[in-house]
Structure 1
Amino acid sequence: MTAGSRSSLLPPVKFARALAEAVEVIATLEEFFSALRRTRIVVRGPKPAAAIRDFGVPITLTIPEPNTWREIVKALDEHSQTVPLKQCRVAVQEHGEPSPELYAALRERGAEVVPVRVYRWELPEDLDPLKHAIREVAEKKINVVMFTSSVQLVHALRVAEDIQLRQQFIDGLKRLMVASIGPICSEKLRENGVRVDLEPSHPKMGYLVKEAAERSSATLQSQR
């Protein structure tokens, strides 16, 4: 593998499509797709895989559920002959925030990492609904909370701090059922002292809602 070789890690579908649209400013789509076809493509899950296939670009490796940075590194290690990393330039399309653990793991394996920020999670302009939800949790008026990304907790804690309810909010989360979309989100919750009562069988919104509804009654009963 030479320093000029390339790999790319691509996340969800709408951002892959947005990236393709942005490229039209500096090159034709066919030139872009031709470049992708000369690159080893690694995707996280079925949705980005479908988008890449729509472009007519072959996929080198698809990461299995729950599609975290750990699964990415494990899959790359298991397919090191197919996707060698040493002296390879790896572009990582970020999914709302950096992934320092992934970058470190890739660099440890000899890759040059090029993070590509397509979008970034920010707080909404209207914080009133979030403030209301934080107060409801702090005052024990909510039975179930579902987190679909770790950044949701980060933002909630930031706003809770601003309204001087951070500890009350965390204490409130400990008294209700907390459902988390997947391992990275659960890790962030536990780092902040919050117990995770449920991770769905698949890290998808539909499974999260369905399984939380099915288990909420028994979970809440056991906490009394």
Structure 2
Amino acid sequence: RYKVRIDHMPPEPFTSTDLLAAIEEIDLNGKEVAVQAYGGPNTLLTQALEKRGAIVREVSLYFWDLPEDVTPVFGLIEALENGQIDALAFTSQPQIGNLLAIAAQVGKEESLRDILAQGAVVVASVGPVCTKRMIKAGFRVDVEPEHPHMGNLILALAERLSPDYVKTD
């Protein structure tokens, strides 16, 4: 529609590491490179480009932030503690930090980490970037779709929650 030329495209799952590998042969020394951030700074990408000599301009069109009213999240945490939640899906890595920050406001961060590490709740991740952040937070990841897209996440989670599901690992 807008006829934007794409010269280099990383393979799925389209992570910063994949992008860096796709442009590995390009001389970036002294080149100005704009990086569109996705809700927060991308330190890995920015530092790697700068290390290769690029002058990086990070552009943020939006930021992930906590909602004004976090009361529903308190309710989610309580429901998790009471065993009322069967599955929890994460669709972006900032959600992990935000959920932990909200839990910390009511002294529930460690409880939340324990719940999401133990196995009583099926924990799903949209893709490898989110999964990496979840593991760093101490969460167990039960479901990650082969292709990091929302629809694939829903299908993988539905399969995992199916009464016919057979665990293979």
Normalising by the residue count of structure 1, what TM-score does the alignment of the two structures yield?
0.69
The answer to whether residue 19 in structure 2 is matched with residue 72 in structure 1 is yes
Q: Which residue of 2 aligns with 1:8?
A: none
Q: Which residue of 2 aligns with 1:114?
A: 57
Which residues of structure 2 form unaligned runs of 5+? Answer: none
CA contact (8 A) 2:145 2:156 kept: yes
Q: In the aligned structure 1, how far is the partner of 2:76 from the partner of 2:12?
A: 30
The answer to whether residue 6 in structure 2 is matched with residue 63 in structure 1 is no
Percent identity between the aligned chains? Answer: 36
The correspondence of residues 27-66 of structure 1 with structure 2, limited to 5 A, is 54-66=1-13
More helix by share: 1
Identify which of 110, 129, 135 aligns with 1:184.
129
The answer to whether residue 46 in structure 2 is matched with residue 103 in structure 1 is yes
Q: In the aligned structure 1, how far is the partner of 2:80 from the partner of 2:129?
A: 22
Counterpart residue identity of residue 129, structure 1: P
The answer to whether residue 31 in structure 2 is matched with residue 88 in structure 1 is yes
Identify which of 65, 72, 76 aligns with 1:129.
72
Distance 1:179 1:101, change over 3 A: same
Counterpart residue identity of residue 110, structure 1: G
Root-mean-square deviation (CA), in Å?
1.8
CA contact (8 A) 2:126 2:149 kept: yes
Length, aligned pairs only: 165
Cα shift readout 1:25-65 (whole Å, capped 9, x = no counterpart): xxxxxxxxxxxxxxxxxxxxxxxxxxxxx222322112221
> What secondary structure does 2:38 align onto?
coil
CA contact (8 A) 1:89 1:114 kept: yes
CA contact (8 A) 2:10 2:18 kept: yes
CA contact (8 A) 1:177 1:220 kept: no
Which residues of structure 1 form unaligned runs of 5+? Answer: 1-53
